[in-house]
Chain A
Amino acid sequence: MAKLKLALYWAASCGGCEIAVLDIGEKILQVAENVDIVFWPCAMDFKYKDVEAMADQSIDLTLFNGAIRTSENEHIAKLLRQKSKIMVAYGSCACEGCIPALANQSCRQEIFDYAYNETPTTVNPERVRPQTSVKVKEGELTLPAFYDTVKNLEQVVKVDYFVPGCPPVEEQTWAVLETVLKGALPPAGAVVGAGTTALCEECPRERKEKKVKKFYRPWEIVPDPEQCLLDQGIICCGVVTRAGCGAQCPSANMPCRGCYGPPEGVIDQGAKLIAVLGSIIDSNDSEEIEKACRSVVDPLGTAYRFGLANSILRRSKLR
């Protein structure tokens, strides 16, 4: 049997997904037996032009991590789509924009102005900005264009499957490869390597009735180690987040922030979280309710921490 031809690519990402792939440990030997890696910039020696030279659909499977932040990210996404039979959005950035997509609250100019002028150590009286093309005395230098908006992979190419998580946990990565190797492909568009229900289903904490007068920030109280964090008033996104990670953050006494994206049937994770928080406020008194609402200090950064690019909102209005 011919080996599976695999490509891996990172666009705008932190490198954590690459580490997650490597962390499959001794299984990497099984991968080596069954898989030919044809493109993996972070690890191997192929260039863009090698991919350009490949026949269309000659790559069996591409695991694409990272969001679309620059013109180069988009170019490679399109190139790999053209050359690949199966295109997988691997990890939160590719699936839904992840934390880099919080930048969609501002635009390129605001981001540049902040980084290249307003930060207190920057000395830049001429207001120099990085340019896509710049003449230096010896010749010309180029940079990819920085977009106003971070997109997820699906917003630039057709995606066949989604593997959520920031990063996906190791066991799940292997499960995905195994699925493809065995040829037991799920229906197009499916989320693979994760559960279908909310994270609460795999969280070891005990849930009781949720009745909250005030929401607490994680530093404000010491939570009971065995009770549901949301029951205790700490905003935990597990209730609107897909299972699959094993509830790692709640196990360390910290609330979930939603990196596995919404569970099956939930279209907008952030909107759902706001609805949940509203429904558990235990009061009929308008002042008390107002106070409880104000204790949700960063609705956007909490509810859309990982999913802004793929939400109904997508970004703030461009001025």
Chain B
Amino acid sequence: MRKVTIDPITRLEGHGKIEVFLDDKGEVENVYFQVPELRGFERFCLGRPVEELARITTRICGVCPEAHHMASSKAADAVYNVEPPPTGKKIRELFYNTFMVTDHTTHFYILGGPDFVVGPDASPAERNILGVIGKVGAEVGLKVIGMRSHCHEVLKMMSGRSIHPVFSIPGGVSKGVTEEERKRIEEVAREAVEFGKFTLQVFDDIVLKNSHYVDLITSDAYAHKTYSMGLVDENNCTNFYDGKIRVVDPEGNEFAKFEAKDYRDHLEEHVEPYTYLKFPYLKNVGWKGLVDGMDSGVYKATPLSRCNAADKMATPVAQEAYERMYETLGGKPVHATLATHWARIVEICYAAERMLELVTDPDITKGTSDATKGLEKAMAKAYRTIPTEIPSEGVGVVEAPRGTLYHHYKTDSDGMVTDVNLIVGTTNNNAAIAMSLKKAAQGVIKGNGEITEGALNLVEMAFRAYDPCLACATHSLPGRMPLEVVVYDCDKKEINRKRRY
């Protein structure tokens, strides 16, 4: 028996580890995906005022604090049994879709994109954002940087801060959108819609026109037939901010559709001693270990799963892209892990179109546009409702970029927290990530401990498609996924070491 340590970075060093065990023939016997970190948020949120959790749980992740801020304040709405007024809700959803545009853009161009744009076999030195710019031109690079920075400008304008927002409170938001702000947000939304179309074109030209890439996407080495989860609206269209959670089985048939408050009837979590991260699974199928198929409760919650779980997209550009994706890949559902990148672009289009719909909705500036000096307090009821009921329990769910995010709180009658349960985006996919790594490793690591450059990247690509954000803290930033593989013989003597950056 030999052990291969795939230490997927630098970037995850200290926050993620992959161990591969080889049998006597040098074939992959098993793969373990370890998350060596826990911070214990659920425990130390106890005793806090429930409205403060939207400002505490943001620190689970500095990359997607917007998702925790929204899920938390929705849970607090439910605890107080208060419904934000329409403008309050729309402001939150506008903010949230702006965040989805920037987060997905980062992943596609900087983290995941280089595999395709520059190519999985390209020199590692080129397989990064600079390589992408080299391939598609500096103009595109500037477009990407501009899109991200304009979205961040909007996030800060709306929520108070560019990292760790503070504006969402039980019953709505602390601050409305003025007409002046609205105009700027509309400009950015229009830019985002065009950017989405442009990104579809980039994907078309570089990936779809290359049959090698299409074969790679559809190859069995990158497929798992699992259940798919995603939030849908009343028409079964994907929605990031609100709706019901829908789960489809590996054949694409609806398996469950439930309200956030009923999530406990559908989800459970499994504990293993070798990792700090739990493994969620579908309760009504059961935990059968790290296997796929109809009888295993393993599910995925990713951009692709959201597409699988929905019937369609709610906006025209996204819908057209959605149809094209399924036509090209042979119909729904799609289980090809690498198609997650394509689904992510479909979602950029939806998020951008939804941004534009919301920012041009006359409701969006209510409470500010018609506010006169001295009447601001009275006008605030347009975007926030002051809770009046006795608090008790609530669940808030949004689609984080990396999967369905659940915040569940119970409080005493003063709104002080007595119970907290969190299931975060990447955690949903813990089992699926481990399975994808095993399958990819089995496909590329063969005999003698010989590991080629290309093989490393092929394993890595299986991991990267999930845009993993471990412990919601180990998110990768500037687009490189260095990898080191060490092969040991039975006596733990190093026999091969390969580094690739």
Contact surface of A with B, Cβ cutoff 8 Å: 10-20, 22-23, 25, 40-48, 69-70, 72-73, 76, 98-100, 102-103, 105-106, 110-111, 114-116, 119-124, 128-131, 134, 136-139, 141, 143-144, 146, 166-167, 217-225, 248-249, 251-254, 257, 297-298, 300-302, 305
Inter-chain contact A14/B274, CB cutoff 8 Å = no
Provided the pairs A41-B14, A252-B175 are in contact, do residues A100 and B421 lie with their beta carbons within 8 angstroms? no
The verdict on B447 contacting chain A, using a C-beta distance below 8 Å, is no
Alpha-carbon separation in the docked complex, A22 to B139 (Å): 21
**Shortest CB distance B65–A (Å):** 7
B48 / chain A contacts, CB cutoff of 8 Å: 298, 301
Q: Report whether A70 and B36 are in contact in the complex, using a CB–CB cutoff of 8 Å.
A: yes
Cross-interface CB contact of A141 among B19, B40, B63, B387, cutoff 8 Å = B19
Known contacts A15-B475, A19-B62, A298-B416; decide if A48 and B13 are in contact (CB<8 Å).
yes
What residues of chain A lie closer than 8 Å to B160, measured between beta carbons?
A: 248-249, 251-252, 254
**B189-197, B265-273, B356-364, B433-441: which lies at the interface:** B265-273
Q: Given A143-B274, A224-B377, A298-B48, do A15 and B167 touch, yes or no (CB 8 Å)?
A: no
CB of B348 to closest CB in A, whole Å: 20
Instruction: Name the distance in Å between A236's Cβ and chain B's nearest Cβ.
Output: 12
- Provide the residues of chain B in CB contact with A128, threshold 8 Å: 271-273
Q: Are A14 and B60 touching (Cβ within 8 A)?
A: yes
Known: A47-B484, A136-B274. A110 touches B43 (CB 8 A): yes
Contact of B278 among A100, A122, A138 (CB under 8 A): A122
Cβ contact within 8 Å between B414 and A297: yes
Q: List 22 A-B contacts (CB under 8 A).
A: A12-B39, A41-B10, A41-B11, A44-B10, A44-B501, A45-B10, A100-B59, A114-B43, A116-B278, A119-B269, A120-B421, A130-B38, A130-B271, A141-B19, A143-B34, A144-B14, A219-B80, A222-B380, A222-B381, A222-B384, A254-B174, A301-B47
Given A15-B472, A119-B42, A141-B34, 19 additional A-B pairs, CB 8 A: A14-B58, A14-B65, A19-B62, A43-B10, A114-B46, A115-B38, A116-B278, A120-B419, A121-B267, A121-B421, A123-B269, A123-B270, A130-B272, A130-B276, A138-B3, A138-B29, A139-B3, A249-B161, A251-B160
Segment among B49-57, B244-252, B324-332 that sits at the interface with chain A: B49-57
Residues of B within 8 A of A47 (CB): 7, 10, 13, 484
Taking a contact as CB atoms closer than 8 A, the residue among B61, B159, B278, B386 that contacts A14 in the complex is: B61
B480 in contact (CB, < 8 A): yes
Q: Which of B76-133 contact A (CB under 8 A)?
A: 80
Residues of A within 8 A of B36 (CB): 70, 72, 143-144
Q: Which of A16, A44, A120, A219 contacts B264, CB < 8 Å? A: A120
A115 B59 Cβ-Cβ under 8 A? no
**Interchain CA distance A65-B171 in the complex, whole Å:** 35
The residue among B149, B278, B474 with the most chain A CB atoms within 10 A of its own CB is B278
Which 9 A-B residue pairs are closest in the complex by CB-CB distance?
A: A16-B62, A252-B160, A45-B501, A138-B21, A111-B40, A14-B62, A15-B62, A45-B482, A253-B174
Residue B442 interfacial (CB < 8 Å): no
| A219 lies within 8 A of B271 (CB) | no
Checking B14, B44, B80 against A106 with a beta-carbon cut-off of 8 angstroms, the contacting residue is: B44
B164 interfacial contact with A, CB 8 Å:
yes
Task: Assess whether B421 is in contact with A217, with CB atoms less than 8 Å apart.
Answer: no
Would A14 and B472 be within 8 Å (CB), given that A119-B421, A252-B166, A253-B175 are in contact? yes
Given contacts A143-B274, A252-B160, whether A218 and B174 have CB atoms under 8 Å apart is yes
State whether B32 touches A136 (Cβ < 8 A).
yes
Q: In the complex, A11 Cα to B174 Cα: how many Å?
A: 33
Taking CB atoms, residues of chain B closer than 8 Å to A40 are 10
- Most A CB within 10 A of own CB, among B46, B276, B423, B472: B276
Q: Chain A residues near B11 (CB, 8 Å)?
A: 41-43
Cβ–Cβ < 8 Å partners of A17 in chain B: 62
A96 to B49 Cα, complex, angstroms: 22
Least Cβ–Cβ distance between B87 and chain A, in angstroms: 14
Q: How far is the CA of A249 from the CA of B14 in the complex (A)?
A: 32
Q: Name A259's closest neighbour in chain B (CB-CB).
A: B164
Complex CA distance for A196 and B348, rounded to whole angstroms? 43
- Residues from chain B with a CB closer than 8 A to the CB of A257 are 55
In the bound assembly, the distance between CA atoms of A110 and B169 in angstroms comes to 29
Contact yes or no, A22 B478, CB < 8 A: yes
Most buried by A among B9, B274, B501: B274
Q: How far is the CA of A223 from the CA of B58 in the complex (A)?
A: 24
Residue of A nearest to B280 (CB): A121
**Residue on B with the closest CB to A11?**
B14
With beta carbons under 8 angstroms apart, the residue of A16, A124, A134, A301 that contacts B164 is A16
B residues within 8 A CB of A297? 49, 414, 416
Is B243 among interface residues, defined by CB-CB distance under 8 A?
A: no
Q: Tell whether B404 is near chain A: CB-to-CB under 8 Å.
A: no
Chain A residues whose C-beta falls within 8 Å of the C-beta of B472 in the assembled complex? 14-15
Closest residue of chain B to A45, judged by CB?
B501
Interface string of B478-496 (1 = CB under 8 A from A): 1010101000000000000
Report chain B residues within 8 Å CB of A254: 55, 160, 166-167, 169, 174
Question: Chain B nearest CB: distance from A168 CB in Å?
Answer: 10
Q: Mark B130-152, 1 if CB is under 8 A from A, else 0.
A: 00000000000000000001001
Nearest opposing residue in chain A for B61, CB measure = A14
Shortest Cβ gap from B270 to chain A (Å): 7
Residues from chain A with a CB closer than 8 A to the CB of B274 are 130-131, 134, 136, 141, 143
Interface flag for B255 (CB, 8 Å)? no
User: Shortest distance in angstroms between A106's beta carbon and chain B's nearest beta carbon?
Assistant: 6
Q: How far is the CA of A120 from the CA of B264 in the complex (A)?
A: 7
Contact in complex: B39, A103 (CB < 8 Å): yes
One digit per residue, 1 when the CB lies within 8 angstroms of any chain A CB and 0 when it does not, for chain B 16-48 equals: 000101000000011010101111101110111
Tell which of B36, B152, B499 has the most Cβ of chain A within 10 Å.
Answer: B36
- For the complex, what is the distance from the CA of A225 to the CA of B375, rounded to whole Å? 10
Chain A residues whose CB sits within 8 angstroms of the CB of B423 once the complex forms: 121
Q: Which residues of B contact A219 (CB under 8 A)?
A: 51, 80, 169-171, 386-387
CB-based contact A72/B14 at 8 Å: yes
The digit string for B159-188, where 1 denotes a CB below 8 A from any CB of A, is: 111111011011100110000000000000
For residue A302, which residues in chain B have a CB less than 8 angstroms away from its CB? 52
B381 contacts across to A, CB distance below 8 A: 222
Contact mask B329-346 → A, CB, 8 Å, 1/0? 000000000000000000
When chains A and B are docked, how far (Å) is the Cα of A272 from the Cα of B297?
52
B81 to chain A, nearest CB (A): 13
Q: How many angstroms from the CA of A218 to the CA of B171 in the assembled complex?
A: 11
The reply to whether B273 and A225 contact each other, CB–CB distance below 8 Å, is no
B354 adjacent to chain A (CB < 8 Å): no
Q: Which of B260-303 contact A (CB under 8 A)?
A: 263-264, 267-276, 278, 280, 287
Which B residues are CB-close (under 8 A) to A105? 44, 47
